[in-house]
Amino acid sequence: MPSHSPSPPPRSRLSTPLGVSTLYRRLFGERRILVATHREPVVWMNRSREEGRNRDTPRLRYPAGGVSQSLHRLLLQTGGDWVALRSSSGPDPLDVSLPDQPASYELHRLSLSDPQTSTGYQRFANDLLWPLFHEEPGRVLTQSGDFEDYRRANALFADRMASLLETHQNGFVFIHDYQLALVAQSLRPRLSQGAPPLAFFWHIPWPRRSFLQEVPERAEIVRGLLEHDLLGFQTPVYRDRFLESAAELLGEEVRIRRQTVHWRGRRIHVGDYPIGVDPGRFESLAQSPEGPTLARKFLRQAGMDPELPFLISVDRMDYTKGFLKRLDILGALFRRYPDYLGSLRLLQIAPPTRTTHPPYRSYQERVRQAVRESNAKWARDGWEPIVTLEETVDHRTLAPLYRLATGALVTSTNDGMNLVAKEYLSTQKEAGGTLFLSRYAGAAHGLREAVLIDPYDPEGTAEIIHRALEEPLAIRSGRNRILREEISRHNIYEWMESILNETHDAWNRG
């Protein structure tokens, strides 16, 4: 921490990357941001011959992901460095820039050259932490030594970040999610007295005590997270569960007062910061002149009539998203209300994830088989109720698709936030589409006016969907107006502003 800290500027509500970057400059000066994530924010791709360019000429693809893309846009304002695991070809570091942006950043891609370390790291993160923190203990798959591989992988992140901090003198460090919980544990001892503030955001749920107990290294995970100046969670429930875990696991090591943890001579602020989206961007894309044309073309290519009603779901094909329960809900809806047969369809945009992991491959095949069985059961005269597309859809097409949809069906069984719910609402200006939101998604905490459903109760959920679909347009659009006001107040830039301000405060107090 610096010996002299400027007085924090007056707080304001900002709504653009430029506004947030201006705040960053006022708080942390001209030094660059350093971000660390498991996944790359951009993917290097070679252009094909069909594009009329040399095959070796690169282009960048931007994967879906509200948070990573918002951080990407912020760093194009401020400049900075980003460390992530390599998932595409191209140079290291990779310079990321856009012609209309004032700055650029360097993407530093790590490769886990030791196959054993890579496998153990991935297994501990994705086959132990992910299922247990989503309260799915039956899906755990781990081996002895995985935690040490996880620690080694985190230490490699710390090595690269320490080198960057030494050469670039970054002014703010922002580390993300359960894959990198121990990075600061290796990084902090290597920093000088004038080290920049370290912030961490835990994107997934923090579980109840009975599930956390299944993680043998739980105390070490908590200690690793306490190496930051600020630790953020999606909801007050997850924040409070973490504080309870710290008190129970660390005992006299810690002293907790409200949202401050006193540990090893430092003070760590632990807060809840529900992630938002950029509602203006989705609204603009949904209402662009070419939007309806793109969406209708997409539906026709998928074999759907753009004039017939449909529900939309957009999820990675992960068991936490409740795919099988979603099909149970649809079956209950058709059984109770057969008038929907032949008209109302479900469009599932469901890119597969972690396809090298046997538990995921098995689950994804179960989903495909269940879709085939549902379609065979409810098909009518060439009409099938479920269309599944296993691909990522560009936001330019996705936003107008959201706007055309009669409703969005979010059936997560346990979800840190769920930004699809907020993206969908962003497109519903003066429209009457209904968000059907699982009560087990973190978004349900803030979107209290949403139509909440319980994926574990397909019959009750079918009744709720039917009633909502029958509501007058005035009721549906009025509900959306209230929900849109909420997501406009708590958008992605307000989230980033809150974290910057709170980190600055915690750093100066610490």
Rounded average pLDDT over 135-153: 95
Helix (H, G, I), strand (E, B), or coil: what is residue 74?
helix
Question: How is residue 11 written in tokens?
Answer: 């707080």
Average pLDDT over every residue of 440-454: 96
Query: Residue 312 contacts by C-beta under 8 Å, 6 or more apart in sequence?
Result: 346, 347, 349, 401, 402, 405, 407, 408, 409, 424
Q: Is 115 left (phi over 0), alpha (psi -120 to 50) or beta?
A: alpha
What class is the 17-276+492-509 domain?
Answer: alpha beta
pLDDT at 380: 94
Q: What is the mean pLDDT of residues 1-22?
A: 58
* Antiparallel, parallel or unpaired: β 451-453 and 434-438: parallel
Spans of all domains in the chain: 17-276+492-509, 279-489
pLDDT of residue 6: 44
pLDDT of residue 310: 98
Q: Would the pLDDT of 209 be above 80?
A: yes
Any residues with CB less than 8 A from the CB of 2 and at least 6 apart, and which? Answer: 194
Q: What angle do CA 94, 95, 97 make, to 5 degrees?
A: 140
pLDDT of 2 strictly over 80: no
- pLDDT score of 490 more than 70: yes
pLDDT digits (tens, 9 = 90+) for 82-106: 999 998 888 899 999 888 788 889 9
Residue 240: pLDDT over 50: yes
Q: Which long-range contacts (CB under 8 A, 24 or more apart) does 465-469 make?
A: 465/329, 465/333, 465/407, 465/409, 465/436, 466/333, 466/336, 466/337, 468/407, 468/434, 468/436, 469/344, 469/406, 469/407, 469/434
Average pLDDT, the chain: 91
> Could you check whether 17-276+492-509 and 279-489 share the same CATH topology?
yes
What pLDDT was estimated at residue 75? 86
When pLDDT is averaged across residues 35-45 and rounded to a whole number, the result is: 89
Share of the chain above pLDDT 70, in %: 94
Beta strands in 114-206 (DSSP E): 172-176, 198-201
pLDDT above 90: percentage of residues in the chain: 79
Residue 47 has pLDDT above 60, yes or no: no
In eight-state DSSP terms, residue 129 is I
Question: Which of 3.40.190.10, 3.30.230.10, 3.40.50.170, 3.40.50.2000 would CATH assign to domain 279-489?
Answer: 3.40.50.2000
Q: Is 417 in a helix, a strand, or coil?
A: coil
Mean pLDDT of 447-461: 97
What's the pLDDT at 11? Answer: 44
Name the β-bridge partners of 108. 83
- What do you get for the CA distance between the two ends of the chain, in Å? 8
Residue 386 is inside which H or E element, if any? strand 386-389
Distance of CA 183 to the CA centre of its chain: 20
pLDDT surpassing 90 at residue 439:
yes
Model pLDDT, residue 233: 98
Among candidate residues 106, 82, 110, the one with its CA nearest the CA of residue 94 = 106
Name the band, by pLDDT with cuts 50, 70 and 90, for residue 76: confident
Please indicate whether residue 393 or residue 18 has the higher confidence score (pLDDT). Answer: 393
